[in-house]
Amino acid sequence: MALSSSSSSTSIFALALFTLLLIGSSSAQLSENFYDSKCPKVFYAVKSVLQSALAKEPRQGASIVRLFFHDCFVNGCDGSVLLDGPSSEKTAPPNNNSLRGYEVIDAIKSKVETVCPGVVSCADIVTIAARDSVAILGGPYWKVKLGRRDSTTGFFNLASSGVLPGPGSSLSDLIKRFDDQGLSTKDMVALSGAHTIGKARCASYRGRIYNENNIDSLFAKARQKNCPKGSNGTPKDNNVAPLDFKTPNHFDNEYFKNLINKKGLLHSDQELFNGGSTDSLVRAYSNNQKAFEADFVTAMIKMGNIKPLTGSNGQIRKQCRRPN
C-alpha cells in the first residue's frame, strides 16, 4: 500500500512537472514593455527613419501597414513576408509587383541594429512601423505589444492559397478570410479603413471602373483616364490611383464617406457598402471618426497577436531579408 502511494505521488509530481514545463515553453507573451530594458531606444530608431521616408513619399506609410497585414495573415506575424529566397512570399500572386516598403524596413533594421544589435526582431519592427505610419499620417497612436521572433522560412504556398483577400473579393469572402484569422466582421471593416491612405494599381481596379454599376459615374470616368480599358497586360497596369481620392495622405474616415457615395476604388472596398450586413458599420464610421479609430486600434492589436513566435521559437534575424 505504501509502495502504491509512493508511486502515485511520483506520478502526480511528474505530471505536474511536465505541465509546468509545457506551460513555461508556451507562455511567453507579447508585452508593451518588452524592450524597456533590452532596447529602450528602439522606438526612436524606428520613428526617425520612418519620418524621413514618409516625408519623401507619404505612400510608404500605407505600404508598411500593408506589409504588416500580409505578414500576419500568412502563418502569423513572424516577419516571413520580408524574406528573399525560393520560398519567398514576395513572389506569391497577392504580393508580386504589389507589396512595397521593404527598403524602408531594411533601413529601420539597420538603424535599430546600431542601437541594440541582435535584440529586436524584424516582425516587431514591422509592427512598430505600422503603428508609427498611421500616427505620422494623422491617425491614432497606441501602445504595441512586442516580443515576436522571426521565422526562418517564407511560406510561398500558403501566401498563394487564398488566405489573403484580394481586390475582387466579395463581402462573404472578406468576412470568411478575416474570421479564419480570428478577426470579427467589425475588425474587418475597421481594418479596411486603412485604405484611407495609399494607392492601388490599375490592374486591381480596372474591372470595377468599367464593368460595375454601383459606382459614381464621374468618379469612374476620372479613374479611367489613367487606366485605359484595353491596356491589360501592359505597363499601364502599374498606373496608380489613390484609394481615398479626397485625403490620400491623411489617415481619417473619408474612406467610409467615399463608400457611401459609391466612390470606393476597389470592388472589395465597395462591397462593404452595397446593401449588405456591413452597411451600418460603414455609416457609423463615416459619422464618427473617433469610433473608427478606436475600433481600428483594437483590430490592429488583435491582428498583431496572430500566431507570433515567442520564447525560444524562431530567431532574431540580423538582416530582415534572410535568416541568420
**CA neighbor of 127 nearest in space, from 295, 316, 304:** 304
Has 71 been labeled as part of a binding site?
yes
48 is known to lie in a ligand binding site? no
To the question of whether residue 247 is assigned a binding role by annotation, the answer is yes
Q: Which of 70, 90, 148, 177 is catalytic?
A: 70
Q: Is position 153 annotated in a ligand binding site?
A: no
Q: Within a 10 A sphere around the Cβ of 287, how many other Cβ atoms?
A: 13
CB neighbours of 269 closer than 8 A, spacing ≥ 6?
A: 192, 195, 243, 255, 259
Cell of 109: 533594421
Residue 81 labelled as part of a binding site: no
- The answer to whether 80 is annotated as binding is yes
Q: CA-to-CA distance for 208 and 189, rounded, in angstroms?
A: 20
Residue 76 assigned as binding residue: yes
Phi-psi region of 53 (alpha: psi -120 to 50; beta: other; left: phi over 0): alpha
What Å distances lie between residue 250 and 52, 67, 170, CA to CA? 16, 19, 27
237 annotated binding-site participant:
no
267 in a known ligand binding site: no
250 counts as catalytic: no
Active site residue ranges = 70
List, as residue ranges, the binding site for heme b.
195
| Numbered residues of the known binding site for substrate | 165
> From the annotation, which residues make up the binding site for Ca(2+)?
71, 74, 76, 78, 80, 89, 196, 244, 247, 252
